[in-house]
C-alpha cells in the first residue's frame, strides 16, 4: 500500500500512539485529521460492538466552541432546531443549514453553561462559518477550537465499563446528557452518546497530552468485559440507519431528504440561517427522501466509492449512497436517496460497479 505524510495540517489525534499500538490497519480523513476505521479483523470488530464493548478514537469529532454573552444566540442562529429549552448539561442533535436550507453539518450541540456551547461537528469547517456569521451579525461571542478530543466506548457492555471507571452516576445519564468530571486527574466530559445504536458513551478528553493515559485506563478497566479497539462501524451504522453527513448527503441535500425533518423547528426566530428556505421546502414538500434498499444478490457486492444510480422502470430515480453486506441480515443493504414518488416495496435496480442489481425499497432502520 502507500504511506501517509503527517504534517501540521493533518493533525494527530491524542490517541494516535495508542491506536498504533493496538494495531490500526486503516484510517480515513475527517476534519483534517486521521480517524482509525479498522484493526485488521472486520468481522470480530463488528461482533464486539454488537455483543460486547468497543473503544474508538473519534478525536476527529472536533468541537467548535461558542463562548460569551451571545453564545446561545449564535447557537440558535446557526441551527434551525429550537434550543430555547436546552438545559446546561444537555446535548441535542442539530442540523446546520446554509441560507438555501442545504445541510452543511449535523453536530451534537452541548450546552456547558449559559454562555458556553460546543458544536461537536461532522466533517466540514464550521469554525469558519460560525466565526463569519458571528462577526457579520455583530455578536459578542468568541468562536474557537478548544483542546477537546472525544473517545467512544460503545456496545451493550459499555455502561458497565464506564461505570467501573467513573462511578454508577453514569448509569443515570439520559441520552446526549453529559457531566464534566475528572478521571484520575484527567479533565473530561462524559456523555451518553456515540455513533452507533448499540448504546454507550463518549469521553471528551480536555488535555491532548493525556491521550495514551486515558486510552489505557479504559483498556485496562474494560479487560474483563473483553474491550477491544474499533471505529465507527460502517456495517452497524447502515443497519441502524445512521446518516453520514458528506457520505449520504451532497451539496444539494436538505434535512427533510435525510430523515432530519424532525430536528427542524419552523417557528425558530427569523434570524436563524436558512429558516426561510426551510419553511418553503417544508411547504412544497421535499423532492427526495431516504429509504433503505435490499438487493436480491445473495453474495456481497462491491459498491465502489461513489454514489451508484438507482433506476425504476428504466428511469433514474435516485442514488445508492452506501451499500454493505450486513452480517446480521446476510444481505446487501444500503440507503437510497430517492424521488419522493418512490415508496417502500417498490422494485428498483441499482447500477453497482457496472452491473444492474435488482432490489426492493424498504423502511429505515434495517435493525
Ligand atoms: N458524537 C459526537 N460528535 C459527533 C458525532 C458523534 N460529530 C460528528 C457526527 N457524529 C455528528 N453526527 C451525528 C449523527 C447522528 C447521531 C449523532 C451525531 C445520533 N443520532 C441518533 C439517531 O439518529 O438515531 C439519535 C438522534 C436523536 O434522536 O436526537 O446519535 O457521534 N460527540
- pLDDT tens sequence across 209-248: 999 999 999 999 999 999 999 999 999 999 999 999 999 9
Q: Is the CB of 242 under 6 A from ligand 1?
A: yes
| CATH number of the domain residue 309 falls in | 2.40.30.110
| CATH number of the domain residue 180 falls in | 3.30.1360.120
> What pLDDT band is residue 12 in, cutting at 50, 70 and 90?
confident
Q: End of a domain among 237, 268, 303?
A: 237
With respect to residue 30, please indicate whether it lies within any of the assigned structural domains: yes
Task: List for the chain the helix, strand, coil content (%; round to 5).
Answer: 25, 35, 45
Tally Cβ neighbours within 10 Å of residue 243: 22
Q: Is the CB of 232 under 6 A from ligand 1?
A: no
With respect to residue 244, please indicate whether it lies within any of the assigned structural domains: no
Please state the pTM of the whole predicted model: 0.97
Output the residue whose Cα is nearest ligand 1's atom 16: 195
With respect to residue 303, please indicate whether it lies within any of the assigned structural domains: yes
With respect to residue 35, please indicate whether it lies within any of the assigned structural domains: yes
Q: Atom of ligand 1 at shortest distance to CA of 191?
A: 32
Q: State residue 125's pLDDT score.
A: 97
pLDDT over threshold 80, residue 1? no
- pLDDT tens sequence across 270-320: 999 999 999 999 999 999 999 999 999 989 998 888 899 999 999 999 999
> What pLDDT band is residue 156 in, cutting at 50, 70 and 90?
very high
pLDDT over threshold 90, residue 340? yes
Q: Is the CB of 123 under 6 A from ligand 1?
A: no
At 202, give phi and psi (nearest 5°).
Answer: -120, 135
Residue with cell 442545504: 102
Q: State residue 295's pLDDT score.
A: 97
In 250-354 the beta strands, taken as DSSP E runs, fall at 288-295, 308-312, 315-325, 332-339, 347-352
- Residues 312 and 294: their CA atoms lie apart, in Å, by 14
Three-class secondary structure of residue 122 per DSSP = coil
Q: By residue range, what is the domain housing residue 313?
A: 287-367
If one residue of 56, 93, 249 were mutated to test the ligand 1 pocket, choosing by the most ligand atoms within 8 A of its CB, it would be 93
**Residue 117 corresponds to which cell in the numbers above?**
456551547
If one residue of 62, 105, 118, 120 were mutated to test the ligand 1 pocket, choosing by the most ligand atoms within 8 A of its CB, it would be 120
Amino acid at each position: 500500500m502507500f504511506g501517509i505524510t503527517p504534517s501540521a495540517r493533518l493533525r494527530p489525534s491524542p490517541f494516535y500512539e495508542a491506536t498504533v499500538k493496538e494495531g490500526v490497519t486503516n484510517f480515513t480523513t475527517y476534519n483534517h485529521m486521521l480517524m482509525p476505521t479498522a484493526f485488521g479483523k472486520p468481522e470480530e470488530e463488528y461482533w464486539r460492538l454488537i455483543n460486547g464493548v468497543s473503544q474508538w478514537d473519534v478525536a476527529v469529532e472536533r468541537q467548535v466552541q461558542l463562548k460569551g454573552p451571545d453564545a446561545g444566540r449564535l447557537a440558535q442562529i446557526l441551527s434551525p432546531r429550537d434550543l430555547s429549552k436546552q438545559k446546561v448539561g444537555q446535548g441535542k442533535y442539530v442540523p446546520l443549514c446554509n441560507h438555501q436550507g442545504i445541510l452543511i453539518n449535523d453536530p451534537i450541540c452541548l450546552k456547558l453553561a449559559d454562555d458556553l456551547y460546543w458544536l461537536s461537528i461532522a466533517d466540514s469547517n464550521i469554525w469558519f462559518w460560525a466565526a463569519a456569521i458571528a462577526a457579520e451579525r455583530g455578536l459578542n461571542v468568541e468562536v474557537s477550537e478548544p483542546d477537546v478530543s472525544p473517545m467512544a466506548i460503545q456496545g451493550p457492555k459499555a455502561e458497565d465499563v464506564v461505570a467501573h471507571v467513573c462511578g454508577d452516576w453514569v448509569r443515570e445519564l439520559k441520552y446526549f446528557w453529559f457531566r464534566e468530571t475528572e478521571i484520575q486527574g484527567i479533565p473530561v466530559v462524559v456523555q451518553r452518546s456515540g455513533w452507533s445504536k448499540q448504546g454507550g458513551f463518549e469521553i471528551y478528553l480536555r488535555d491532548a497530552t493525556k491521550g495514551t493515559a486515558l486510552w489505557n485506563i479504559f483498556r485496562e478497566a474494560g479487560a474483563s468485559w473483553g474491550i477491544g479497539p474499533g471505529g465507527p462501524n460502517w456495517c452497524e451504522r447502515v443497519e441502524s440507519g445512521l446518516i453520514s453527513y458528506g457520505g449520504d448527503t451532497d451539496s444539494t441535500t436538505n434535512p427533510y431528504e435525510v430523515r432530519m425533518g424532525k430536528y427542524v423547528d419552523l417557528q425558530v426566530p427569523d434570524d436563524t440561517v436558512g429558516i426561510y428556505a426551510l419553511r418553503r421546502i417544508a411547504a412544497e414538500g421535499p423532492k427526495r427522501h431516504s429509504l433503505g434498499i435490499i438487493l436480491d444478490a445473495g453474495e456481497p457486492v462491491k459498491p465502489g466509492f461513489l454514489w451508484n444510480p438507482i433506476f425504476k422502470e428504466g428511469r433514474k430515480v435516485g442514488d445508492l449512497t452506501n451499500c454493505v453486506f450486513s452480517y446480521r441480515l446476510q444481505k446487501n443493504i444500503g440507503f437510497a436517496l430517492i424521488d419522493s414518488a418512490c415508496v417502500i416495496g417498490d422494485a428498483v435496480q441499482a447500477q453497482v460497479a457496472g452491473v444492474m442489481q435488482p432490489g426492493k425499497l424498504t423502511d429505515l432502520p434495517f435493525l
